[in-house]
Structure 1
């Protein structure tokens, strides 16, 4: 039994196809199939039922796959131990970032990080929170940046910053004369939202539920970008809420439509999330230090109330 054989088993278990598993493992299909077969022969059991399409995992195979994940992760930890002992911060590191954070946060820290840690090959992917969680569990991401708390047993959360919500209220809106907003001002029927699947949308809905104007989840319009929501608000379709960092990119004219919330300002917690096995933790810590130090200077709000994307009323 070898680590390579276990890695091939994990690839087949994930893709349910020997050809695709071989492509993802950068080996030929006969080589991968032979190594999986050798492991099955050594153990005297079938890990995969090849008679089904797609390939299925046998009952004993499921137990073997679960243990193989632990063994492969512990084998990778050995390299981590050596790297940490040498003080080496480098190698491939795959980071996922949710769509409502990536456009504002990435330009703030990326250049600084790659200059400070030139030996790290940072691979960045924009993904939804659900995909971040799945890919961290499957080992396809080393870490993610998402709105928290998520409260998932196998994931560790390290807060990076707390980002207040800011109202975007055009001059024609009923709240345009308010200098500060409160949750009582919010009427879910005229709050423009991101489309379903965005955790920021869920946070806004939970915020509206805290107000007295939650009359059911019947929304005028939903969009996939904050820019579209701002444009719709300017056309008199309602108001919207923005993450604070997104407001820094607005021109002076649009900034006149911004309304802060009365303290404590509702906010979202943005965290670096990663598997509890803490593989490549030295890179994770370096990334957290760089992001925290940069964002700390951009967000000056101190008194905030965290709105969880998972909060229920």
Structure 2
């Protein structure tokens, strides 16, 4: 039994296809198939049911895959232990970030991190929270930055900052004449939201505690962009809520339409998320310290109420 064979098993278990798994492992399909067959012969069991399309794990195969993930992760810790002993901070490091955080947070810390840790090959991609959880569990990401708490088994969350919600209210809307607002000042049937899949949308729905008002509206908007929502609000189509960091780059005219919430301010909790086996922990710590250092000057809110990014039924 080899670590390479276990890598091949995990690839097939994930993609449910030998050809695609071979492509992801950068080997030929016959090579991958032969190595998995050798492992099955050694163990005396079938890991995969090849009679079905897509390929399914057998009952014993599911247990083998669970253990294989542990073995592969622990094998990865050997190099990690050596790197930590040497004080080495470098190598490839994959980070997932949700789209509502990327445009504001990334420019704040990326240059600092690259300059301080030039040996780290940072690979950053945008994913939804659900995609991030799956990729972290499958070992395709080293860590992620997302709204929490998520409370997922085997994933650790380290809070980076709390980011308040801020209302964007053009003239002639309820609350426009106030310096601070509460949830009661919002016109629930006129709030413009991001499209499904964004946890910031879920946060707003949780804040309003009314999932029906979107369906009852005379129109529905599907947008992944805060800029689009702002423009629609300026056209008189409603109001919207923005994360605090996003409001810092608005022009002065738009900033006059912002209304903060009274304390405790509804806010999202933004955290670093990574597997509890803590592979590459030295890079995770470096990333945490860099982000905390730059965000500390921009986010200084303590009296907040954390709104869950998971849609509450």
Shift of 1:187: 2.7
SS at match of 2:125: strand
Note the alpha carbon deviations across 1:49-76, whole angstroms, 9 max, x for none: 2222222211111111111111111100
The match for 2:73 is 73
Asked if residue 27 in structure 1 is aligned to residue 35 in structure 2, the reply is: no
What is the CA–CA distance in structure 1 between the aligned matches of 2:212 and 2:51, rounded to whole Å? 53
Note the alpha carbon deviations across 1:278-302, whole angstroms, 9 max, x for none: 1111111110110111111112333
SS at match of 2:297: helix
Aligned pair count? 310
Asked if residue 155 in structure 1 is aligned to residue 161 in structure 2, the reply is: no
Note the alpha carbon deviations across 1:204-263, whole angstroms, 9 max, x for none: 111112xxx887443443322110110111011111110001001111111111111112
Gaps of 5+ in 1: none
The match for 1:60 is 60
The answer on whether the counterparts of 1:149 and 1:157 sit within 8 Å (CA) in structure 2 is: yes
Asked if residue 302 in structure 1 is aligned to residue 312 in structure 2, the reply is: no
SS at match of 1:202: helix
TM-score, normalization by structure 1: 0.95
The match for 2:120 is 120
What is the CA–CA distance in structure 2 between the aligned matches of 1:84 and 1:134, rounded to whole Å? 27
The answer on whether the counterparts of 1:159 and 1:269 sit within 8 Å (CA) in structure 2 is: yes
The match for 1:290 is 290
The match for 1:221 is 220
What is the correspondence of 1:191-210 to structure 2 with a 5 Å cutoff? 191-209=191-209
The answer on whether the counterparts of 1:189 and 1:215 sit within 8 Å (CA) in structure 2 is: no
Shift of 1:312: 3.4
Asked if residue 263 in structure 1 is aligned to residue 238 in structure 2, the reply is: no
What is the CA–CA distance in structure 2 between the aligned matches of 1:217 and 1:249, rounded to whole Å? 28
The match for 1:243 is 243
CA RMSD in angstroms, aligned pairs only: 1.5
Deviating 4+ runs (over 6 angstroms): none
What is the CA–CA distance in structure 1 between the aligned matches of 2:31 and 2:198, rounded to whole Å? 42
What is the CA–CA distance in structure 1 between the aligned matches of 2:311 and 2:288, rounded to whole Å? 25
The match for 1:90 is 90
SS at match of 2:308: coil
What is the CA–CA distance in structure 1 between the aligned matches of 2:7 and 2:186, rounded to whole Å? 52
What is the CA–CA distance in structure 2 between the aligned matches of 1:25 and 1:197, rounded to whole Å? 30
SS at match of 1:197: coil
What is the CA–CA distance in structure 2 between the aligned matches of 1:278 and 1:221, rounded to whole Å? 42
The match for 1:254 is 254
